[in-house]
Amino acid sequence: MKKPNDVIIRSVSKVAVVIILTFAINLFISGHHNPGGGFIGGLAFSSALILLFLSFDIETVRKNIPLDFKILAAVGVLISVSTGGGSMLFDVPFLTQAYGYFNLPIFGKTELATAVIFDIGVALAVIGTSITIILTIGDDR
């Protein structure tokens, strides 16, 4: 077995993954007023993980991210459904969203909406599904 000789791609992907993850979170946050949102944010996030899987091997990344992505997808669907169902507790129809302005310590006046929680669910479902697809195709077991 030859020793892998890929210093360049490994060290560059370490830097690139940080940038992609930052951009994924930026896409996710800006989804309410600008292009972006849960789906594209989740896809960008999972593309960063796939870059890690490509430049390092699957076992190393799995050991460092001990997360079952099938469970992650299930948790995402659960979050989305429960935000939809949570609106029924307040006597409004299913999937009604609410928003309000709050004074947070660092951010100042921020708009917080329950649609963000729905979007978190969508993003987790997308990350879980895409990584599960890639891992089940790529794994030998």
Partner 1 sequence: MNVINQIELAAVFLILVGTIASFLSAIGFIRLPDLYTRAHALSKGSTMGVLFILVGTFFFFFIDGYFSIRLFLGILFVFLTAPVSAHVIVRAAYRSNVPLAKESVRDDLKEVLQEEVYNHK
Identified binder of partner 1 from the candidate list 16, 58, 75, 135, rule CB under 8 A: 16
Shortest CB 136 distance to partner 1, Å: 25
* Residue 47 interacting with partner 1 (CB under 8 A): no
Contact 115, 99 (CB under 8 A): yes
Among 17, 21, 25, 26, binds partner 1 (CB under 8 A): 26
Among residues 43, 53, 4, 36, the alpha carbon closest in space to that of 21 is found at 43
Beta-carbon contacts of 79 under 8 Å, excluding residues fewer than 6 positions away, are 117, 118, 120, 121, 124
Q: What is the rounded CA–CA span in Å between residue 139 and residue 116?
A: 34
Residue 8 binds partner 1 (CB under 8 A): yes
Which residue lies nearer to partner 1 by CB, 26 or 114? Answer: 26
Stretch that binds partner 1, among 6-14, 76-84, 94-102, 110-118 (CB under 8 A): 6-14
Quick one: DSSP state of residue 95? T
Q: Which residues bind partner 1 (CB under 8 A)?
A: 2, 8-9, 12, 15-16, 19, 22-23, 26
